[in-house]
Amino acid sequence: MKCNFHTMLQTNTSLSKLVSLVLLSTILLASTAHATQGQATIKIYTEHLPPYNYLEDGEFTGYSTEILKAMLKEAGLNSSFTMLPWGRAYLSASTEPSSLLYTTTRTPEREAYFEWIGPIGPRKMRLFKLKERRDIQIKSEADLRKYRVGIVRDTSAIKLVVERGLFSKQQIDEAPTTTSNMKKLFFRRIDFILATSGGARYELEHLPYRLEDIEPIYTLDEDFQFYFAVNKSTDAVTVNKLKAAFEKIKATGLLEILRKKYSVD
């Protein structure tokens, strides 16, 4: 009986240890799963497009960036920001799950490829020329076809001006950024640049030229607006969190405050 008692005691002790280990393992697995979910990251892709999105002292900033950061904080989402030329940023966001692209124009051609959050604001694009270029006379849209225009590569604006007959593809000088186009304008390699007023103002503040040296000569239509575009494969919970966060941020009046801060029209 003594031997049997000790055997039973050892068996019960081993069983208790086994149960404890199983319970501990279950708790650890649940904790790990919860931590992994909490660490889920949405990949943010953008381009250099001041005053909407740009780098300043190594930090992502700008009108749209501040809105997005407020949304991410409200939604409790982690993120990683990457700045690329527009074509690469668009390709990355359109092919990678759990990714977001900004600032982008919502067009019929792009509609089916993203979940859209916004609008952030109107897309008011203008043609600018050097004020001293008195040889450039625009009395009708047909006159635009006499000149060369600089537009950022792979943007919807190129398709828009060609479809509207404002410029032919041969007249368009494609560049990676508005900064490149602005320099070409002052070097007289092109006759116009296509930009927002805020974008033109920002570029000239960071180049050895003055805002007074250029003038708008034509405004494209304002049928389209700027949005945040989320990859279609992103889980619905994340998308809904972002949409709800945007509406909450918008209701606080933050967008109006930032429009004034960044001179966005």
**In this structure, which long-range contacts are made by residues 137-141, counting pairs with CB atoms below 8 Å and at least 24 apart in sequence?**
138/217, 138/218, 141/165, 141/166, 141/218
Between CA 255 and CA 262 the distance in angstroms is 10
**Residues 245, 248, 252, 257: what is their CA dihedral angle, to the nearest 10 degrees?**
40
Q: State whether residue 157 is helix, strand or coil.
A: helix
- From residue 70, how far is each of 61, 77, 87, 91, 247 by CA, in Å? 12, 10, 26, 25, 11
Query: Shortest CA distance to 62 belongs to which of 40, 44, 38, 43?
Result: 44
CB 4 within 8 A of CB 41: no
How many angstroms separate the CA atoms of 158 and 98, rounded?
28
Buried b (16+ CB within 10 A) or exposed e, 74-95: bbebebebebeebeebbebbbe
Q: Are the C-beta atoms of residues 134 and 206 closer than 8 Å to each other?
A: no
Domains delineated in the chain: 40-123+224-262 (3.40.190.10), 126-219 (3.40.190.10)
Report if pTM > 0.85. no
Per-residue pLDDT of the chain (265 residues; tens, 9 = 90+): 444 544 443 444 444 444 344 344 443 344 334 434 454 689 999 999 999 999 999 999 999 999 999 999 999 999 999 999 888 999 999 999 999 999 999 999 999 999 999 999 988 889 999 999 999 999 999 999 999 999 998 888 898 899 889 999 999 999 988 899 999 999 999 999 999 998 999 999 999 999 999 999 998 866 789 999 999 999 999 999 999 999 999 999 999 999 999 988 7
